[in-house]
Amino acid sequence: MHRPDTLGVPLSKRDFLKAAACGACALCLAGVAGRTRTASAQSAQRGLIKRKPSPWFSAADEGAIVCELCPRRCRIAPGQRGRCRVRENRDGRAYTLVYGNPCLVQLDPVERKPFFHVLPGTRALSISTAGCNIACKFCEVWDMALVAPEEVHAYDMPPEEVVKQAKAAEARSVSYAFGEPVVFHEYMAATAALAKKEGLLNLLHTNGYIARDPLDALAEHLDAVNVDLKSFDPAFYRDVCDGELAPVLETLKHLKEKRVHVEITHILIPTLNDDLAQLRKMCLWIRDELGAEVPVHFARFYPLYRLANLPPTPVTTIERARELAFETGLRYVYVGRITGHEGENTFCPECRKPVIERMGFVIEKMHLKDGTCSHCGAAIAGRWV
């Protein structure tokens, strides 16, 4: 996977679509020739470790600790690490090994996160470190998320520098995405607090696998969260993701209680999580527990990592899922990774006319005024300022 040493500046539609043709590599845009500025006066260093004490642990017997960051509650013996590979027991205390050493620093359209109801057409500075607390067989960034920090190239970039870079790049938000931000909680929380003071929004794209107290500590700084709801089947989570469904659903409900803007991404994988009856149950749960105005993105699966033997998701499967979601009463439903499809657009749920027209991550037309439809005046759910 390409690891850019630069932050991209805004691309023209032509350059964007040319870069997007590179395929599944989510990091290629920042390297488009002639349209970059240096991230900082440094190169990424392989094996960079930045330790910092973590408050999210409790003591156990024989010098062990229990990590309390996520539902796994890893019991970590002295000198050992948790399942995420980036949290370590040193002398009976928990340490994060990725504080201030992101292996990805990149300027993106906010639509890539994907957020379709947050500051459309603006840019977000994205950061991520190594590590993840689950292990999906279809992980798109496995060489960053499912490895130890010693195995990636990373930058020395404390929270102050992230915010400085975001403002210099004229980003409107900081995004914690690509890998799993839960595992760099302390780094994210410190950066988010500074970003908020500087008038930047904080956007999180996560698997939602986090314990309640760490989530509460983070939520006060968050403006929007996109949660990967990978299936509505507990067996899928256990067999394909090495995780559990219930904590993810609890995270979604708690974010809504905290009044954080929520969007959901669901990758449809042929034969594994594309059952229509299960999808209907999921959509009804979203409607009843979170609200009909939560945007849902049905994304196309492409074969990779340990599911390389499966075919790409048929477009008809994505379209049927979208139709089903509308039938259950959800108001904003999108298709992902099918460039040019009408399902990339935002439609007013009242007059059914388009209020945001997209081509991939590029905004082509906007019919939105102060968060309302320019055609009929109906309010459109989202963060528009």
The full DSSP string for 238-264 is HHHHSS-SHHHHHHHHHHHHTT-EEEE
Q: What is the pLDDT of residues 157-208, one digit of tens each?
A: 999 999 999 999 999 999 999 999 999 999 999 999 999 999 999 999 999 9
What's the pTM? 0.90
Q: How many CB atoms lie within 10 A of CB 259?
A: 8
Q: Does residue 79 carry a pLDDT above 80?
A: yes
Q: Crossing angle of helices 185-197/212-219, nearest 10°?
A: 20
* Domain-located, residue 192: yes
Residue 15 has pLDDT above 80, yes or no: no
Residues 108 and 198 in one domain: yes
Cis preceding-peptide flag for 114 (omega within 30 of 0): yes
Instruction: Decide if 233 is inside a domain.
Output: no
Find the domain containing 356 and state its range: 349-385
pLDDT exceeds 80 at position 25: no
Does the pLDDT at position 240 exceed 80? yes
**CA 107 to centroid of chain Cα atoms:** 14
Percent of the chain with pLDDT over 90: 89
Tokens, residue 194: 């500074």
What are 114's two structure tokens?
A: 């994907």
DSSP label of 266: E
When divided into structural domains, the chain yields a total of 4
65 forms beta bridges with 59, 76
- Who has greater pLDDT, 334 or 37? 334
Indicate if 54 and 154 belong to the same structural domain.
Answer: no
Q: Output the six-digit token pair for 21.
A: 């043709």
Q: Based on the domain organization, do 206 and 334 belong to the same domain?
A: no
Judgement on whether residues 78 and 11 belong to the same structural domain of the protein = no
What's the pLDDT at 42?
76
Mean pLDDT of all residues belonging to the chain: 91
Do 286 and 330 meet the contact criterion of CB atoms below 8 Å apart? yes
Asked whether residue 36 carries a pLDDT value surpassing 90, the answer given is no
Q: What pLDDT was estimated at residue 41?
A: 57
pLDDT tens for 303-356 read: 999 999 999 999 999 999 999 999 999 999 999 999 999 999 999 999 999 999
Mean pLDDT of the 104-113 span = 97
In CATH, what number is assigned to the domain containing residue 311?
A: 3.20.20.70
**Pick from 140, 141, 111, 112: nearest CA to 129:** 141
Are residue 107 and residue 195 in the same domain, yes or no?
yes
Q: Is the pLDDT of residue 76 over 90?
A: yes
Beta bridge partners of 191: none
For residue 362, list its beta bridge partners.
Answer: 359
